[in-house]
Amino acid sequence: MAFRHPSGYGGGPTILGGGLSRPPQDLLALLAFVFVTYSMQFFAATALIPALLRLTPAVWQGAFLWQLVTYPFAGFGPASLWILLEMLILYWFAGSVRGQLGRRRFWRLLLGCAATAALAAVLVELLARALGGTGALMPFQLMQGQRMLLVIAIAAFATLNRNAVIYLFFVLPIRAAWFIWIQIAIGFVAFLGSKDLAGFAGICAGTAAAVFGLAPGGPWRGLRRTWLTLKQRWLEWRLRTLSRRRRFRVVDDDRWPGGHGPVN
């Protein structure tokens, strides 16, 4: 997998996670910890450790509040070679994001997005139970461990490099910004099979937290810009509706959002 900027930055495709003379020690430690905890779940003597780190209903049932931030670091999934591919993809995207943000900001983003996703997932699960829904047999499975780390890393990369072109399998070109929606779509398909609504909500919240957290001027400015855009679209729709119902004629006027105003 590779990516390049539209301007041809770097003279051609750049390997994701590349550009670093030496792999960051903290990123290697993260990958190692995730893989070790993933391996622990298959041994009776150590299975309790990742179980305590993962996000579970024990958050509200037993006040295991640390799970709100520890769950992304407990490797998750069945015994499969797929875990190695996940680790590689995580290194590619997280390495590039860390290189652009720096160590401190990278870890702030990772922990902040993980906590936001966990809170959203817990609230959705509690709401589903309050409304009488039984929920998934295993809630939060879609967002456990390296899955949430991948969600955050990919969303952050796509936000920082929106116009870059990523070459899937070094052949298929896809604009980086589309990866935000691609992973949401993948999460939705996984939800259809697992019925894990809380986990899907966590994926959406983690993605949104990464996108708004990296918005120019900070997350609040990103949220405000989104709100103003939606408000402008709503006003334009209202103007079009009024022009049809009351036979208004719409003319250009800089005083109105979108440069239009109703004139009878």
Q: Give the domain CATH number at 183.
A: 1.20.1540.10
Shared-domain flag, residues 118 and 228 = no
pLDDT computed for residue 15 by the predictor: 45
- pLDDT at position 10 is 39
Helix, strand, coil percentages for the chain (3-state, nearest 5): 65, 10, 30
Shared domain for 200 and 230, answered yes or no, is: no
Is 112 buried (19+), middle (13-18) or exposed (0-12) by CB count in 10 A? middle
CB atoms within 10 A of CB 212: 19
Q: Are residues 150 and 240 in the same domain?
A: no
Based on the domain organization, do 233 and 104 belong to the same domain?
no
Regarding whether 193 and 176 lie in a shared domain, the answer is yes
Domain co-membership, 128 together with 179: yes
Of 174, 196, 214, the last residue of a domain is: 214
Query: Within this chain, do residues 83 and 203 fall inside the same structural domain, yes or no?
Result: yes
Q: Which of 195, 214, 233 is the last residue of a domain?
A: 214
The answer to pTM > 0.85 is: no
Both structure tokens of 199:
């986990």
Q: Tell me, yes or no, whether 59 and 128 share the same domain.
A: yes
Do residues 184 and 200 share a domain? Answer: yes
Domain of residue 250 covers 221-263
Asked if residue 67 and residue 183 are part of one domain, the reply reads yes
Q: Could you give the percent of the chain with pLDDT greater than 70? A: 76
Dump pLDDT digits (tens) for 7-17: 433 334 444 55
Look at residue 18 in the predicted model and tell me its pLDDT. 47
Nearest to residue 199, comparing CAs of 188, 213, 183? Answer: 188
Q: Can you tell me the distance from the alpha carbon of 207 to that of 183, in angstroms, rounded to the nearest whole number?
A: 9
Please give the pLDDT value at position 22: 77
Q: What residues have CB less than 8 Å from 46, skipping those under 6 apart?
A: 40
* pLDDT band per the 50, 70, 90 thresholds, residue 21: low
Q: Do 156 and 40 share a structural domain?
A: yes
254 and 125 within one domain: no
- pLDDT value, residue 8: 39
Residue 174 confidence (pLDDT)? 84
Count: domains in the chain: 2
